[in-house]
Structure 1
Amino acid sequence: MRSLAQEHFSGISTSQRGGLLNASMNPAELSNLQSKYEISVFSASFNLSSNRLGFDDLVGGDNIEDKLFEGNKDVDLRFDGEIYGPGFAMKIDKWAFSVQTKAYAKINFADVDPTIGDAVTNSAVSALLGSTTIQNNNNQRANGTAWGEVGFGISRILFENDEHKFSAGVNLKLLFPGSYANLGADKFQGTINNNLGDVTLTNASANLNIGYSGKLAGDFTDFDNYASSIFGKLNGFATDIGVNYQWKDRLDDDNESYKLNVGLAVRNIGSMTFKDANNQSTNYILNVPDGEFLDLNQFQDVSSLEDIEQLLLASGYLNSVATKRDFKTKLPTVFSAYADVKVIPNFFVTVYGQQKLNEDDANDQITTQNVISVTPRYTAKKFEVYSPLASNEISGFTAGLGFGVGGFFIGSSSILTALGNGDQADIYLGLRLGLQ
């Protein structure tokens, strides 16, 4: 399974300015605060990408289902949002500390066979008569997750002289799971018949997982259900750890820069447990014998996992294997590495890479991304402009643009390729204040 967008806050999170955004990528970056105190007022990043749709389709939203399930290529579509609430960081001698609030919302369709998607969402109107046999060994998933987080960071300078500085840091995170929904169909095989819009499934088998908690048991594509249930009760913990090295480049007595800034980090080591009155995660075996037929028309326009589950159970073709009332989901653990190099005065180039450490196809795994990017950046004392260039597994090549003035920043990692109808739409912005 592939599930990739771009890294959030691409370009600004490796800015020479340092701060809480940099520390979200590597907690050791807290030691590089350029002011004694920093206040994060608000930051947000939203990304929508697909391997089948262009920018106009993603933003316009007309006939998305028809276009999404055209052709024979498995469908990947992802919405990913991060919102940073109030945060605070401070330096005391060789130590630095922070507290940061965050909220996350993710919707992911991964490795979905287009014939199944077309049959369920559109009653396969594009093929008025025909039969298609499918054998897909992937775990096809429709997944949604919303949760909140409060993180406490600490970093220390381990060694420092006039030329070099080494730092290490850790971020301890309290997790507040809100809502969850997962529909997984592993090792699906079967035959879809379409007789003038009467769509049925026969000679079919699959291992299904249907899990939900909170409001996403209802419509898991409705963003209001994410926004209204992000922060649940404390029920999970996670950790980020990182190290940082700087080769210094002193410009004058009042301003310190670097020739090279390098960091390594492992983030999101942990999990959270969902508990709610309607909590349920059940593994099923789907078995539709040859010569018997499951009506697929009944699932058209159904977006509630509870309704899907009840329709399948009523058909008699679904057998329960195991049920859990409370279930644990793993955070998307990643390893990241980056190097920010000063090429000439005021001009830097950042190379960033991120590798997921868990596979995305497990039903209890929140999906994440592999990514590599290169970001040239011009930096003045109060202004910077940059252009992140990335290679993405879902949306392919993306090129963006962003700038920061004082503590305000705004940007997109795909705005330039979007002008050519690229396969990604994203934007981020924020405001932070540095205080001496």
Structure 2
Amino acid sequence: MMVKKLILGLFLIGSVCTSKAQSYLGYLTDNYSGIHGILSNPANIVDSRFKSEINLVGASAFISNDYYKAALGDLTDSDFDFDIHGTKTPTENNNAIGNVDILGPSFMFNINPNTAIAVFSRGRVFYNISEINGTTIDNFADELDESSDFNVDEGNYFANANAWAEIGLTFSKNLINKEQHFLKGGVSLKYLQGLGNAYSTGNNVLINYDADGTDLGGGQTTGSINSTGEVSYGYSDNLEDDIEDFEIVKGATGLGIDFGAIYEWRPNYEDYYYNDKDGNTLPYKNKNKYKLKFGLSITDIGSINYKESTETVYDITNTINEDDFEDEDSFNDVLDNLYTEISSGSASKSILPTALHLNADWSINNNFYINLNTDLALTSNKVNTNRIANITSLTPRFESKWFSFYSPFSLVQNAGFKWGAGLRFGPLYVGSGSVVSALFNQEMASADAYAGLKIPIYQPRFKDKDGDGVMNKMDECPETPGPVENSGCPWPDTDGDTVLDKDDQCPEEAGEIENQGCPWEDTDGDSILDKDDACPQEAGPAENNGCPWKDSDKDGVLDKDDECPQEMGTVANKGCPEPIVTETIQKTLNEYAKTILFNSGTASIKIESTNALLDIINILKEYPNAKFTVEGHTDSIGTVGSNQKLSESRAAAVKHFLVEKGIDASRLLSVGYGESKPIATNMYKDGRAQNRRVEINLIK
């Protein structure tokens, strides 16, 4: 069976396992995953629901391939047969995936609302096999059928296995916290200790097996193997001998780094903050605050340098028989004794499985979430390079402080669709990313499981007995709702005017809301309250909005009654200046006065003089403050005494007529001058007629 040893040794390196894209599938989406969150994004631990957390132990394991499928029931059957119960799908480029990820004693702590740190220990095993020809596995997985010839064009292949331990420190910090927008970042620095490394690559490998191609004589034959191409084989020195003598490699160390950022959209951010009595704004530490969360991270940047390691390159172009294979004691003896060594030197560094992680989380409400996660390999198939399988998962979940349940639906590179479930119950977490698929699918190409135990120390719960938004420990009135500004106590209203004392300018005296709790005053005592008084410092009537009436021109007539408020006038003329009696007016008056006729020898006014008198009255009314004399005159016929009396009587008769028709008597003075003031000669008839007259003259 040396042929089997050779072929499987060259191309499988004794393993059919490799790395899974992500450990703890489903659990890492939980906001209560605690320190496990740093495995996918080191920004996760700050502003988390834990004040602190101690992980005791946790382990995740995964195997998957695109070559072989089997039903779960068959795998658990004691009579399981690899060839009978399973389905093989050999191709020119088969792949197999799997990993073991152990999170040892680890600790995280939120120093304050903006900063968190973690210290963790971790053990990891990675195996990668890519582009292996499935026919090779098909022909050599079981006992070789020496009656069957075959030809395999293996081409190029890559295989590696790596195990290492990590001691890491994570620092995570809030970067932006501005209303709806929240951003945090984190970085993990890791010291790596290599535990063992082996790898092999092939270049243009071609294998030809002839079941009876070598003649041994006497009619007996044995198989022959004809092969071409190059094979490189590297390993750390602790794997050179039997595995039972395994020792940790000295000098196999390296450094690794993870970094990431998380953005949260918090449209209702105001609901997740409260103010203490000193006015400081503080967050509710025990609550998730986002509606949408987006994460981006790159993990496992780095490598491990196995200083005590060897890589040998062989030319396997040769034809050898099966018996020679069987005679060799070990795989190294086969390579050294039957093939040509081309070169030998130190092995290549073991490159970590660098990966990009994209994550989106939607908070439907406080307990139900939907998560979309993608993990993409950033390394390719190269010598001694670890590489994750790409995976996309959609995970609905229910989460609360002490319990979470999640069920991831995933598409895994080379393994297809799988459906899993997991839960967290206080300190215990357990789950599988493929358990539901395994129960319902007839055959499966992958399987995984994880479990662990930790000690969670949750953020303090906000306790508010009276529901006023002030925590009980800060509330001076925990049984009665009140504002935070008053330490959770209701504001008093001492005077009972519905204006709280904090807003009441007169807390001891009932007043009006509009006047900041004070009663309205009447400062000027005009019976109009100051709130309605346009001139609260000066008394005035209600008709003028509490202001005194103005007399702009200072003429004693108030503006409201003054028809000429900007021009000084008289009360009698409604505040307007009196008109001036001009000489023309004076002449007009006397023209009318001369036409006043009396009955001969009497003071009786003739009726035909009425119109003239009315014209005089109209003129006098236009000058209401002017005073006039009504003068009576006679000619010289008769005695002086009789003429004097007649002139006085006639002047008085005219005054009497004017007063009766509305002229104020105080404005008129009647005077008789007899024959003492002629205006023409009394010698003639015409002259005497002119002297018999009445004059109305302005008193200046």
TM-score over 0.5 for the alignment? yes
Instruction: Please classify the TM superposition score into its range, dividing by the shorter chain length.
Output: 0.7 to 0.9
Aligned residues: 414
Given residue 60 of structure 2, which amino acid in structure 1 is its aligned partner?
S
Q: 1:4 to 1:82 in 2, by over 3 A?
A: closer
C-alpha root-mean-square deviation of aligned residues, in Å?
A: 3.0
Identical amino acids, percent of aligned pairs? 24
- How many angstroms apart in 1 are the aligned matches of 2:76 and 2:378? 32
CA separation in 2, counterparts of 1:104 and 1:120? 29
Which of 219, 226, 232 matches 1:209?
A: 232
> Quick check: 1:415 aligned with 2:446?
no
Counterparts of 1:282 and 1:208, CA distance in 2: 8
Structure 2 counterpart of 1:29: 44
Give the secondary-structure state (helix, strand or coil) at the position aligned to 1:235.
Answer: strand
Does the C-alpha gap of structure 1 residues 214 and 398 become closer, same or farther in structure 2, counting only changes over 3 Å? farther
* Cα shift at 1:344: 3.6
Instruction: Report the Cα offset of residue 428 of structure 1.
Output: 0.4
Cα drift, residue 18 of structure 1: 4.7
- Using the TM superposition, give the Cα deviation of residue 413 of structure 1 relative to its aligned residue in structure 2, in angstroms: 0.2
Residue 430 of structure 1: aligned partner: 452
Matching residue of 1:337 = 358
Give secondary structure in 1 for the equivalent of 2:424: strand
Query: Displacement of 1:215 after TM fit?
Result: 4.3
Asked if residue 271 in structure 1 is aligned to residue 303 in structure 2, the reply is: yes
Distance 1:144 1:32, change over 3 A: same
1:199-240 deviation per Cα after TM superposition (whole angstroms, max 9, x unaligned): 4321x2122111111444456xx7x88xx6578656101111
Change (3 A) 1:60 1:285: farther
Query: Which residue identity does 1:53 align to in structure 2?
Result: K
Which deviates more, 175-184 or 330-339?
175-184
- Which stretch shows the higher mean deviation, 155-164 or 258-267? 155-164
1:121 and 1:299 in contact (8 A); partners too: no
Q: For 2:369, what is the secondary structure of its paired residue?
A: strand
Matched, 1:155 2:172: yes
Query: Residue in 1 aligned with 2:508?
Result: none
1:350 aligns with 2:367: no
* Contact 1:175 1:236 (8 Å CA) reproduced: yes
Work out the CA distance in 1 between the residues paired with 2:197 and 2:84: 27
Distance 1:213 1:69 in 2: 35
Any residues of structure 2 matched to 1:47-196 within 5 Å, and which?
Answer: 47-51=62-66, 52-56=68-72, 62-64=80-82, 70=88, 72-73=90-91, 74-93=93-112, 94-125=114-145, 128-141=146-159, 143-195=160-212
Cα deviation, 1:297-320, whole Å, max 9, x if unaligned, reads 9479x9xxx9222212212xx222
**TM superposition shift of 1:326:** 4.9
Question: Which letter does structure 2 place at the counterpart of 1:341?
Answer: W
- Give the partner amino acid of 1:211: G
* Alignment deviations for residues 331-351 of structure 1 (CA, whole Å, 9 cap, x no partner): 011111001111244111110
CA deviation profile, 1:348-381 (whole Å, cap 9, x unmatched): 1110001111113x22212322111110101123
CA distance in 2, matches of 1:107, 1:83: 15
How far apart are the structure 1 equivalents of 2:373 and 2:405?
17
SS in structure 2 opposite 1:293? strand
SS at structure 2 position matched to 1:390: strand
SS state of the match for residue 366, structure 1? coil
Offset at 1:15?
Answer: 0.6
Whether the 8 Å CA contact 1:107–1:144 is kept in 2: the answer is: yes
Stretches of structure 1 lacking an aligned partner (at least 5 in a row): none
Higher helix share: 2
Please list the CA deviations of residues 258-302 of structure 1 after superposition, one character each: whole Å capped at 9, or x if unmatched: 2122110011111001134xx3111222112xxx334389479x9
Return closer, same or farther for 1:104/1:4 CA change in 2, 3 Å cut-off: closer
Q: Distance in 2 between matches of 1:429 and 1:230?
A: 27
- The one-letter code sitting in structure 1 at the alignment partner of 2:317 is N
Q: Secondary structure at the match of 2:383?
A: coil
* Residue 256 (structure 1) aligned with residue 287 (structure 2): yes
Q: 1:298 to 1:272 in 2, by over 3 A?
A: same
Given that residues 354 and 371 in structure 1 are in contact (C-alpha distance below 8 angstroms), is that contact kept between their aligned partners in structure 2? yes
The answer as to whether partners of 2:408 and 2:419 remain within 8 angstroms in 1 is yes
- 1:267 alignment partner, SS class: strand
Q: 1:164 offset after TM fit, Å?
A: 2.7
Q: Please, what TM-score do these two structures have when normalized by structure 2? A: 0.55
How far 1:244 moved relative to its partner?
0.7
| SS of match in other structure, 2:170 | strand
Match of 2:27 among 4, 8, 12: 12
Structure 1 residue 40 corresponds to structure 2 residue 40: no
Which ranges in structure 2 are unaligned for 5 or more consecutive residues?
1-16, 214-220, 273-283, 460-700
Q: Answer yes or no: is 1:363 the counterpart of 2:383.
A: yes
Question: Which amino acid letter does the alignment assign opposite residue 238 of structure 1?
Answer: G
Q: Is the 8 A contact 2:354 2:387 kept in 1?
A: no
Q: Is the 8 A contact 2:155 2:202 kept in 1?
A: no
Matched, 1:282 2:306: no
Q: 1:218 to 1:413 in 2, by over 3 A?
A: farther
- Separation in 2 of the partners of 1:264 and 1:190? 45
Alpha-carbon distance change, 319 to 78 in structure 1, aligned in 2, over 3 angstroms: same
Q: Which amino acid aligns with 1:83?
A: I
Secondary structure of the residue that 2:350 maps to in structure 1? strand
2-structure distance, mates of 1:394, 1:376: 24
Q: Residues 269 and 59 from structure 1, CA distance in 2 versus in 1: closer, same or farther, beyond 3 angstroms?
A: farther
Amino acid at match of 1:212: Y
| Residue identity matched to 1:45 | S
Q: Amino acid of the residue matched to residue 171 of structure 1?
A: S
* Larger relative contact order (Cα-Cα within 8 Å, sequence gap ≥ 6): 1
CA offsets 1:171-197 (integer angstroms, 9 cap, x no match): 111000011122322321132223499
**Could you say which residue in structure 2 is the equivalent of 1:312?**
335
What is the Cα deviation at residue 47 of structure 1?
A: 0.7
Normalized against structure 1, the TM-score is what? 0.85
Q: State the distance in 2 between where 1:6 and 1:296 align.
A: 42
Does the CA contact (< 8 Å) of 2:69 and 2:88 recur in 1? no
More deviation, 424-433/382-391: 424-433
Point out the structure with max Rg over C-alpha. 2
CA distance in 2, matches of 1:108, 1:20: 27
